[in-house]
Chains A and B, each alone.
Chain A
Amino acid sequence: MLHLPPMPLRLNRADMTVREKIWQLNWSLIALLTAVACIGFATLYSAAGGSLEPWALKQMIRFLVGMTIMVGVAVVDLRFWVRHAYLFYGIAIVLLALVEVKGTIGMGAQRWIDLGFIQLQPSEIMKITLILALARYFHGATLQEIGRPLFLIPPLAMVMLPAALVLKQPDLGTAMMLVMSAGAVFFMAGVRLWKFALVLGAGLAAIPLAWEFLREYQKKRVLIFLNPEEDPLGSGYHITQSKIALGSGGLFGKGYMDGTQSRLNFLPEKQTDFIFTMFAEEWGMIGGLVLLTLYALLIAFGYAIALRCRSQFGRLMAHGITTTFFLYFFINIAMVMGLVPVVGVPLPLISYGGTAMLSLLFGWGLVMSSYIHRDLPVSRRGLHDD
């Protein structure tokens, strides 16, 4: 079972010093995150054939930057996030729209904004800020209000707008992740189950219609997912080779830096979306289970923090971000093992990529902020409530 430190005396105070807050940081959570990130560094080192270039070193720097941001976010008063939740959401929307206007073409989809020093992927930022905004919206809502359908229209719009923008890029995976993690927030906020059933039913009914709107490559991916062996050297190649790599790793793996499939380039995008395959080829099922356990522990920490929060905002945000994190690794691992179609979802904290790393650590910063301020009562508008 998780062990949380005993409740210090002054946690309900709004005027904790930064030093006190840093003392309150959840160090085991930080250790877990660092452990996962280190697995990532080692795997990226191996993917480059035993070299820090071009991936591992950059990833370490990003992690250090991310950790700093995380700590910074964690010590910021929770009420600040309540007050400025919509602002961050708005910035993310603007960035998403910018991608639409002047994004660079990458991997056949418009996903990046080149800011010079970093390739910004606003869809990754949106995954966090959407949770933030929804938590803010439901924070002050009573169960009666939530029961009114009209009350649910603004948050639905908050989900649909970015989802539509992301879908237009087109990035089916991220759009679905946004919808699912938002759904989790709706659910935790107390939206009735039958309403989910209704939306789900409507969604299923809309599938034939949605199919028409899918791009050719998206249709192909779904079809190939359903039958990958049909085209082993064509588009099914990714899944087939990924399964070969995983399976040939066996129980104990081929040994660090000895994964033949990845070394000999049979594995596509081994440093990004398919990095789990490479890891599991070299470390086997044992390695895979260790990583899975680390992820599961992170989820458990997230839950513990969410349940421990006194404010609805903290609860919803901590749980929402935990769920987003869960969706990241679940979809990615399920994808490389051929359980779900190939969608562009990275393995959190491990896949090479700056924006995802930074926004995820930003997210964990928020979770930690709700941990540090777990006993802080938060008013409806984010003001101190006496």
Chain B
Amino acid sequence: MYHDNDRAKLFSRRAIMLGAGKSVLITGLAARMYYLQVIEADKYAMQAEDNRITTRLLAPPRGLILDRNGVPMAINQQNYRVMVVAEQTPSLDYTLDALSRIIPIGEAERTRIHKEARRRRSFVPVSVRENLTWEEVARIEVNAPDLPGIIIDVGQSRYYPLESLGAHIVGYVSAVSENDMSDDPLEELPGFRIGKGGVERTYDLALRGRAGTSSLEVNSVGRVHRELERHEGEPGIDLHLTLDIRLQQYAAQRLGDESAAAVVMDIHSGDVIVMASTPSFDPNSFNRGLTTEEWKDLSTNPRAPLTNKAITGQFAPGSTFKLVTALAALESRDVNPDMRVLCTGHMQLGNIKFHCWKKEGHGSLDLVGALKNSCDVYFYEVARRVGFEKIAEMARRFGFGSPTGVDLPSERSGNIPDRAWKRKVMKQPWHPGETLINAIGQGYVTATPIQLAVMTARIANGGFAVVPHVARDLVVDKNMRSRPTPDWPSLDISAQSLALVRRGMFAVSNEAGGTAYKARITEEGMWLSGKTGSAQVRRISMRERETGVKKNEQLPWKERDHALFVAYAPEGNPRYAIAVIVEHGGGGSAVAAPIARDIMLEVQKRDLARATTEPSGPPDSGTEDLRRF
């Protein structure tokens, strides 16, 4: 034994030391375990869930848009797209080369695909091309064995089967821009489209529906293992419009190539039955993506195909505004209905001469005669007596000077001037002569076609403040219910005044010598009563008056008068109001009135009464090809 006792004692001593050290270290491990698994457990549990679960949104189908008879105006179409999964290809270029023998793939496309493929995990499909035709899909499917990594996928895209017909009312959809971002998670979906114009925009929230979600368990590289949970979304609400698309088509055809607008509305319910604005555009082109050239054509066209002139076009209403002046005069009691004015072709105010459109004058006229002949001098005199403030007040009561509240975006308010407005905007006092000019709808007065239709409707319905709308039902945010029976507030206009003005409108259309007599309706029970307007867009100089005012045909398009006509029908028991404006079309009686007449005749022939009181026609009516009309 070699001092074994000493060594054993030393060993035991040091074993206790090291053993204690090890115990401390093991306790340290336990403490660390406690720290991670108890104290910090919640934090790590959350991170583990974050690791594990990704939520994907399921896009709900967008609600359809249908006309009042169920004809589809906006539908969802299957959109076939071809995608490539990089990890399933021998090389991306090999597959794209093979694919390009079937469908053309440009150099730029190729660069984009490579870029996207590099950015994503190799099992994530990258879109190669969208909106494939059925033939292309078939050719790709047939060649599938030679196209490793190629998959065909079906999405939904918006399609407007009527193309340009009613495009301004339906609107269009396009990609979400940064400004449009709200907190709806749907907007983050790639390829999600939101309504950008027309009812697509007004009722965007309702049409969108609610997003569904799918919780997916993914592994560390993002590959999906299984679906944990799925909440189906709600499809968007199908929106029925008050438009009658056949009448809409008729109106659009009747307006033809003119830069023009026509609005027909129900004077009681406020249903907008026709709202045409020409020229129009094809909303599908926005979804497809416009070429620079197409966009340039659309945006620089002087006839502004992209704007809905019915609600955004602000025109001098011309003589159609005399209806308002007449009502202001009658209601103010400054003018006796029987008062007669002698028209000599002009009127002198101070040292300025105000001309009537009829150089030789109308002779002695009462109110009805003045409306029938659209005598300017009569209304100069009336305005001089009443003052423009009262006329402006009456104009506002009839809906001028502010948006009518139709359920379409970007409606304009037009302009009803007064002293305060002029001081503020023009920094000038009001001249007495301006009272005369504005009283006949020239000068600073401007109005939109829908305002003119609303005015006419309010005259025809006995002075009730009807508000137009294009959606059949009342839709607020995401909820829809039927519209209540209309109960419009009264405008407080005496029945006698309204009757007298309507009497004048009747004379315009139905008495020989009336400015729209040539454009009357002769069918029994469908007679219309209206008022013409020709708004001057240039100043006629003294010299020109001496040599003879140029005819519209002699002038360049941009300098021609705007042709206007407003009317209601049928006389006796009015139901519909119309406003037609043809930009730089010439005279209201020659150009606008015949168009309005034809549309009103067609509207009444369609017998809308039956279509609205009975349940709307058979649903298969929507399958007819409207373009064949």
**Interface 9-residue window, one of A18-26, A74-82, A259-267:** A259-267
**B30 CB contacts on chain A under 8 angstroms:** 289, 292
Closest to A316 in B: B11
**Interface 9-residue window, one of B2-10, B104-112, B387-395, B487-495:** B2-10
A57-85: CB near B (< 8 Å → 1, else 0) gives 00000000000000000000000000000
Do A266 and B51 contact each other (CB < 8 Å), given the known contacts A188-B18, A250-B45, A251-B37?
Answer: yes
CB pair A299 B44 closer than 8 Å: no
A261-B36 Cα distance, complex, nearest whole Å: 15
A339-B29 Cα distance, complex, nearest whole Å: 9
CB pair A251 B41 closer than 8 Å: yes
CB pair B217 A251 closer than 8 Å: no
> With an 8 A cutoff between CB atoms, is A315 at the interface?
yes
Not counting A142-B7, A303-B15, a sample of 18 additional A-B residue pairs whose C-beta atoms are within 8 angstroms of each other reads A143-B3, A143-B10, A244-B44, A246-B36, A247-B41, A248-B41, A249-B41, A265-B220, A265-B221, A266-B52, A285-B33, A285-B38, A289-B33, A292-B29, A312-B4, A312-B8, A330-B26, A333-B29
**A184 CB contacts on chain B under 8 angstroms:** 18
CB pair B44 A288 closer than 8 Å: no
> With an 8 A cutoff between CB atoms, is A226 at the interface?
no
> With an 8 A cutoff between CB atoms, is B19 at the interface?
yes
CB pair A337 B32 closer than 8 Å: yes
A377-B225 Cα distance, complex, nearest whole Å: 63
Do A264 and B15 contact each other (CB < 8 Å), given the known contacts A190-B7, A248-B41, A295-B26?
Answer: no
A340-B565 Cα distance, complex, nearest whole Å: 89
Q: A263 → chain B, closest Cβ, in Å? A: 8
CB pair B43 A380 closer than 8 Å: no
> With an 8 A cutoff between CB atoms, is B40 at the interface?
yes
**A333 CB contacts on chain B under 8 angstroms:** 29
Interface, chain B (partner A; CB < 8 A): 1-4, 6-8, 10-12, 14-15, 18-19, 22-23, 25-26, 28-30, 32-34, 36-38, 40-41, 43-45, 47-49, 51-52, 217-221, 225
CB pair B43 A247 closer than 8 Å: yes
A187-B14 Cα distance, complex, nearest whole Å: 8
**B8 CB contacts on chain A under 8 angstroms:** 312, 315
CB pair B10 A190 closer than 8 Å: yes
A323-B47 Cα distance, complex, nearest whole Å: 36
Do A264 and B45 contact each other (CB < 8 Å), given the known contacts A190-B10, A249-B37, A285-B37?
Answer: no
A186-B1 Cα distance, complex, nearest whole Å: 20
> With an 8 A cutoff between CB atoms, is A373 at the interface?
no
CB pair A246 B37 closer than 8 Å: yes
CB pair B14 A307 closer than 8 Å: no
Give 15 CB contacts A-B under 8 Å: A187-B18, A188-B15, A243-B36, A243-B44, A249-B41, A250-B45, A266-B220, A284-B37, A289-B30, A296-B26, A312-B4, A312-B8, A330-B26, A333-B29, A337-B36
A321-353: CB near B (< 8 Å → 1, else 0) gives 001001000100110010100000000000000
A260-B45 Cα distance, complex, nearest whole Å: 10
> With an 8 A cutoff between CB atoms, is A127 at the interface?
no
A268-B626 Cα distance, complex, nearest whole Å: 64
Q: What 7 pairs across the A-B complex have the smallest Cβ distances?
A: A247-B44, A248-B48, A285-B37, A264-B219, A250-B41, A248-B45, A266-B220
The one of B12, B19, B33, B38 that contacts A337, using a Cβ cutoff of 8 Å: B33
The one of B26, B33, B48 that contacts A280, using a Cβ cutoff of 8 Å: B33
Chain A CB within 10 Å, residue with most, of B11, B25, B41: B11
List A residues 153-192 near B (Cβ within 8 Å). Answer: 184, 187-188, 190
**A37 CB contacts on chain B under 8 angstroms:** none
CB pair A339 B32 closer than 8 Å: yes
CB pair A264 B218 closer than 8 Å: yes
**A368 CB contacts on chain B under 8 angstroms:** none
> With an 8 A cutoff between CB atoms, is A319 at the interface?
yes
CB pair B220 A330 closer than 8 Å: no
Interface, chain A (partner B; CB < 8 A): 140-143, 184, 187-188, 190, 241, 243-251, 260-261, 264-266, 280, 284-285, 288-289, 292, 295-296, 299, 303, 306-307, 312, 315-316, 319, 323, 326, 330, 333-334, 337, 339, 377, 380
A339-B22 Cα distance, complex, nearest whole Å: 16
Query: Secondary structure at chain B's binding surface: helix, strand, loop or mixed?
Result: helix
Do A143 and B7 contact each other (CB < 8 Å), given the known contacts A265-B219, A307-B12?
Answer: yes
Q: B333 → chain A, closest Cβ, in Å? A: 84
A141-B2 Cα distance, complex, nearest whole Å: 8
Closest to A190 in B: B10
A285-B29 Cα distance, complex, nearest whole Å: 11
CB pair A188 B14 closer than 8 Å: yes
A184-B218 Cα distance, complex, nearest whole Å: 47
A247-B14 Cα distance, complex, nearest whole Å: 36
Q: A165 → chain B, closest Cβ, in Å? A: 27
A63-B32 Cα distance, complex, nearest whole Å: 30
CB pair A288 B12 closer than 8 Å: no
The one of A140, A289, A295, A334 that contacts B2, using a Cβ cutoff of 8 Å: A140
**A246 CB contacts on chain B under 8 angstroms:** 33, 36-37, 44
**A303 CB contacts on chain B under 8 angstroms:** 15, 19
CB pair A280 B37 closer than 8 Å: yes
Closest to A323 in B: B18
Closest to A306 in B: B15
A86-B4 Cα distance, complex, nearest whole Å: 23
The one of B1, B29, B37 that contacts A250, using a Cβ cutoff of 8 Å: B37
Q: A384 → chain B, closest Cβ, in Å? A: 14
CB pair B32 A334 closer than 8 Å: yes
The one of A187, A247, A280, A307 that contacts B40, using a Cβ cutoff of 8 Å: A247
**B36 CB contacts on chain A under 8 angstroms:** 243, 246-247, 337
A237-B36 Cα distance, complex, nearest whole Å: 17
**A296 CB contacts on chain B under 8 angstroms:** 23, 26
**B221 CB contacts on chain A under 8 angstroms:** 265
A248-B22 Cα distance, complex, nearest whole Å: 28
A201-B574 Cα distance, complex, nearest whole Å: 109
Q: A32 → chain B, closest Cβ, in Å? A: 15
Q: B123 → chain A, closest Cβ, in Å? A: 14
Do A261 and B43 contact each other (CB < 8 Å), given the known contacts A295-B26, A315-B11, A334-B32?
Answer: no
A261-B28 Cα distance, complex, nearest whole Å: 25
Closest to A141 in B: B2
CB pair B48 A260 closer than 8 Å: yes
Closest to B26 in A: A296
Closest to B22 in A: A326
The one of A244, A251, A292 that contacts B48, using a Cβ cutoff of 8 Å: A244
Closest to B37 in A: A285
CB pair A260 B52 closer than 8 Å: yes
